[in-house]
């Protein structure tokens, strides 16, 4: 969180951008502008975070930006640190309610929890959480769900290890390119 506080001091809130908020999968995506050159993007990822952290700091890292769209990536830390899919999903609904209350009408893009070689033993719980988010998005006017895990698998259904850093947890530039190609069409102009 201290790195995020520094980031906020350096680049204070600017309204009307697309706000990327979430865990290290966004923190490590340092060059978002190069992937989305015609978009005004603000990255407020902070490593090791869980969705409950984003909720706790909502008034500091979401509301002040008055974003035109929010892209959220959380979930794998939440489940690895002990939450069930249902508990994580409760946090998703809380986050959406906060957005609806404080930033009415702001579209939210929920990215699926990515699978990774390092956390393969959590696959079933990740799948359950992703299914809950997908079903929920179908019932919400301002929420869309994007399965960013699917692009990390080859045609045989095997995880593409060439998309991950040596820690087998975080994605690399190739993985980010696949994510960018997938979500580009969901981002507002």
Q: Cα dist. 178→26, 47, 56, 137, 150 in Å? A: 14, 21, 31, 22, 10
Q: Judge contact between 186 and 146, C-beta under 8 A.
A: yes
pLDDT at site 27: 87
Q: Judge contact between 46 and 2, C-beta under 8 A.
A: no
Give 112-124 pLDDT, tens digit per residue.
999 999 999 999 9
Give 79-135 pLDDT, tens digit per residue.
999 999 999 999 999 999 999 999 999 999 999 999 999 999 999 999 999 999 999
CATH superfamily, domain at 2-186: SGNH hydrolase (3.40.50.1110)
Host H or E run for residue 18: strand 18-22
Delimit the domains of the chain by residue range.
2-186
Q: Judge contact between 23 and 48, C-beta under 8 A.
A: yes
Q: Judge contact between 35 and 26, C-beta under 8 A.
A: no
pLDDT at site 177: 97
Q: Judge contact between 81 and 29, C-beta under 8 A.
A: no
């Amino acid at each position: 969180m201290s790195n995020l506080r520094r980031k906020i001091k350096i680049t204070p809130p600017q309204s009307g951008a697309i706000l990327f908020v979430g865990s290290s999968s966004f923190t490590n995506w340092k060059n978002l502008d190069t992937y989305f050159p015609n978009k005004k993007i603000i990255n407020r990822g902070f490593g090791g975070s869980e969705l409950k952290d984003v909720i706790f700091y909502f008034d500091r890292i979401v509301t002040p930006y008055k974003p035109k769209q929010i892209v959220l990536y959380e979930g794998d830390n939440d489940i690895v640190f002990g939450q069930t899919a249902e508990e994580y999903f409760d946090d998703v609904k809380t986050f959406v309610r906060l957005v609806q209350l404080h930033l009415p009408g702001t579209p939210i893009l929920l990215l699926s929890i990515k699978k990774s070689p390092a956390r393969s033993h959590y696959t079933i719980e990740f799948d359950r959480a992703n299914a809950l988010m997908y079903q929920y998005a179908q019932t919400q006017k301002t929420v869309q769900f994007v399965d960013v895990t699917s692009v990390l698998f080859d045609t045989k259904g095997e995880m593409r290890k060439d998309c991950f850093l040596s820690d087998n947890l975080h994605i690399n530039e190739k993985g980010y390119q696949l994510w960018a190609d997938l979500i580009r069409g969901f981002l507002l102009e």
